[in-house]
Amino acid sequence: MKVISGGSNEKELEFDKRNDILKMYKIIDNDLNLLFKGKVASKVTGGCNILVTEFFFSGMINDLTDPELFAILSIFSSENRAPGNVPECSKDYSENFTKTMNFVHKECDKLL
C-alpha cells in the first residue's frame, strides 16, 4: 500500500506560522483561544483586519484630528490612489499623523 504524501507537513507548518503571528499580535493565546483583541479583529471587515485592529489598539487614534483619521482609515478602505503629486495631498500634517503613518507602515512590514 502506497501512502499518499504531499503537503500535509507544509500545511501544518503554514498553520503554525499563522498561529505564531496571531500569538505575536495577542489575538490568540498559547492554547489557541481567541482573546478580546481577536474578537475585535474578527469584527473588522476589509483587507487587513489584524493591521486595522493594531491601529485601534495602539491608542494613536486619540491624537489625530478628524481629517487625519479619515485619511488614515482611507488607507484600509480603498485601493484607489491619487495620480502623481496632487497639491491637496501635500499639505503639512501634524506630528501625530506622521507618527501614525510610520506606525502603520512598520506594522504592515512586520505583518508581511
| Domain extent for 7 | 1-34
pLDDT tier for residue 4 given thresholds of 50, 70 and 90: low
Closest CA to 98 of 73, 64, 74, 66: 64
Q: Considering its fold, how many domains does the chain have in total?
A: 2
Residues 68 and 103 in one domain: yes
Q: Pseudo-torsion of CA 28, 52, 84, 94, nearest 10°?
A: -120
Verify that 105 and 55 share a domain, yes or no.
Answer: yes
| DSSP structure class, residue 18 | H
Model pTM score: 0.58
Nearest to 47 by CA among 10, 76, 67: 76
What is the per-residue pLDDT across 55-100, written as a single tens digit (0 to 9) for each? Answer: 888 888 888 888 888 888 887 776 666 565 556 655 667 888 888 8
Cell numbers 469584527 correspond to 43
